[in-house]
Amino acid sequence: MKMMMMRGSSPRGSSMAHNHWTGISSHPPFSDLSDINNNKCLPGQSLSSSTKINSKPKTLPREHIDRYKRGDTHPVSALYQLSQVLQFQLDMKETVTTAGITGFYFAFCAVIDGVQYKTGMGITKKEARAKAAGLALEELIASLENDGIPSDVSAGPPPLPVREKDSTIPEVYSGRAVIERKNPIKDQVPNVVMEMFTKLMDSYPEFSGCGGTVAAFVMLSPAGCEVVALGTGSSNTKSSPAPTGRILHDSHAVVTARRSLMRFLYRNLLLFFSKNSALEEKSVFQQDQTTKLLSLKNHFTLHLYLSQLPKGAAQIPSQLRLNPLSISAWEVNNQIGLHAVVEGKVFSKFSSSYEQMGSHVVSMSGTDKIMQWQVLGFQGALLSHFIEPVYVSSIFIGNGSCSDTRGMEMAVNQRVDGITSALPLYYCVYRPHISLVSSAVPPDAHPSQKSLSLNWSHGDLLVEVVNALDGKSTEDSPFKSSPALASRLCKAAMLSRFNLVAKEAQREELLTAVTYREAKMMAKPYQEAKSVLKSYLERKGYGQWVEKPPISDHFSM
């Protein structure tokens, strides 16, 4: 897997009233992590056949560490020496400057077994590499001295260290889970999604028919895996755009889940800005004292589960990926270019059928949206006023009929290769690890209610069911926000949450925005990144990104 070129700091019910806004319920978002947040453990020690050596150390490499601490060994040399002794894979990668640094600087970071360490900067490449190696050594040596080397290392790579032998709590190092091999994250994610999905369906069996396509966001923390947002659905609305902000135009599972994730993020922002230390501790956010923006806490990572490949270029036929020279350039563009969805049907932006759709409401395909979110962040424009871009570290496809993920890799990662250097601070191409996993959807889940979409996020007492064709809650939805049946995922609801958070955060300048569109356009770095992305895709020949008519954003609260 190619690593991302990261900008910014390295890893570090029935009403919409009290519970809906604060998420304060009998289950806090995550358990108290104060006793384990600062524990560190050795990065994953899996080895390729080319780097595996027969004799492995049984003691801490004290001699190498002492020589480095005395200044007898250059940081880069010391890091490479430890990589040989401890048998981890090391790569010194050039990246981009962080934390608002201006001027001409070089930047490097150490990548150890796929884990990216803090960025080092200097006026020369040599200086930047040395600083990056020093930052990595600082964390690595502290980890070794605190936790030591597993003693039983004679038969193959040792088991990944855990906090205590009998503990089932996974520890996290620099944004990646370090857990027992018998329970890797690719097993944990579908398991917790299935558990949550089954729980929701058991609670609302009358809506089990709208679970044919499922997407979920899972947060991995030192306390374990937890589903924080879930959505189902496979269609978009027939309603025309209107200046009300109260219609959901796209109710595909991944879009529904992502908007549910945004509600989860708003809820955690309210916890952070609550001026209550106990509530603030429960938030998933921490603050960068330099930029004052928030980011996910150091040991928290986000992962996306999809019950099937999203619509669009991810579903490229195998022959296009395996033998592209055997087909026409037009056919290649038709498949790997941008795709639009109209009333649930997918059209290539290059097809004549798409050009005949006229005034129908058009949405970009799920694949294209995931690609966009992995550049701009899943938080969207409004939330970017408060937080750094939020990316997913892994995408898991739980579809037994899917044989490979190469189409997804091409559509999400390769189409935006080379764009990072043109993006503003904090934005990047974050390349997620994409893999196939077991299905989280019970085999008896029959999609008999295809026009319905279900949504839920952590802290919700009730699920909401939306009729995708009209973009509103159904009459029998367990959760209804108002008699008008506007969904809690609609733009108006998001603007209301935005205003509430801006008030709690004492961001008076944000409260001057009159309309939803104005609040979005005030997020200048986000809008710049979005403009760069759209121009890049068009220049590369993938087609033109479809925007909703501006009228749909010209509303106020």
Tens of pLDDT, residues 336-350: 889 888 877 788 877
For the chain, which residues make up each domain, given as ranges?
61-144, 184-317+328-553
Q: Measured between alpha carbons, how far is 202 from 190 in angstroms, rounded to an integer?
A: 18
**Is the pLDDT reported for residue 103 higher than 50?**
yes
User: Residue 540 has what DSSP assignment?
Assistant: T
**Is the pLDDT reported for residue 454 higher than 60?**
yes
Partner residues linked to 455 by β-bridges? 231, 464
Q: Assign domain 61-144 one CATH number from 3.30.160.20, 3.40.50.170, 3.40.50.1000, 3.50.50.60.
A: 3.30.160.20
pLDDT-based confidence at 320, cuts 50/70/90?
low
3-state SS track over 146-204: HHCCCCCCCCCCCCCCCCCCCCCCCEEECCEEECCCCCCHHHHHHHHHHHHHHHHHHHC
Q: What integer pLDDT is reported at residue 341 of this predicted model?
A: 84
Residue 273 tokens read as: 């800005």
Task: Summarize pLDDT for 133-160 with one digit per residue, the tens.
Answer: 999 898 888 877 765 443 333 333 323 2
The upper half-sphere exposure of residue 47, i.e. CA atoms within 13 Å in the direction of its Cβ, equals: 17
Q: Measured between alpha carbons, how far is 389 from 7 in angstroms, rounded to an integer?
A: 10
The residue-averaged pLDDT of 457-474 equals 94
The residue-averaged pLDDT of 469-495 equals 93
The residue-averaged pLDDT of 178-199 equals 77
> Which residues have a Cβ under 8 Å from the Cβ of 172 and sit 6 or more positions away?
178, 220, 221, 222, 298, 299, 300, 301
Q: Are 300 and 316 in contact (CB under 8 A)?
A: no
Q: Measured between alpha carbons, how far is 366 from 478 in angstroms, rounded to an integer?
A: 27
Lowest mean pLDDT among 9-18, 373-382, 423-432, 532-541: 9-18
Q: Measured between alpha carbons, how far is 531 from 523 in angstroms, rounded to an integer?
A: 12
**58 vs 216 pLDDT, higher one:** 216
User: Residue 75 has what DSSP assignment?
Assistant: H
Calculate what percentage of the chain has a pLDDT beyond 70: 74
**355 vs 419 pLDDT, higher one:** 419
Whose tokens are 């009358």? That residue is: 206
Could you please report the per-residue DSSP string of 469-528? TTTEE-TT-S--SSTT---TTSHHHHHHHHHHHHHHTT-GGGGG--SHHHHHHT-HHHHH
- Report phi then psi at 299, rounded to 5: -105, 25
Q: Measured between alpha carbons, how far is 6 from 93 in angstroms, rounded to an integer?
A: 11
**Is the pLDDT reported for residue 52 higher than 90?**
no
> Which residues have a Cβ under 8 Å from the Cβ of 509 and sit 6 or more positions away?
none
- Angle at the Cα of 289 (from 286 to 292), degrees rounded to 5? 75
Q: What integer pLDDT is reported at residue 55 of this predicted model?
A: 37
pLDDT-based confidence at 444, cuts 50/70/90?
low
pLDDT-based confidence at 359, cuts 50/70/90?
low
Q: What integer pLDDT is reported at residue 351 of this predicted model?
A: 66
Q: What integer pLDDT is reported at residue 57 of this predicted model?
A: 43
Task: Summarize pLDDT for 253-304 with one digit per residue, the tens.
Answer: 999 999 999 999 999 999 999 999 999 999 999 998 877 899 999 889 999 9
**291 vs 396 pLDDT, higher one:** 396
Q: What integer pLDDT is reported at residue 353 of this predicted model?
A: 60
> Chain-wide mean pLDDT for the chain?
77
pLDDT-based confidence at 3, cuts 50/70/90?
very low
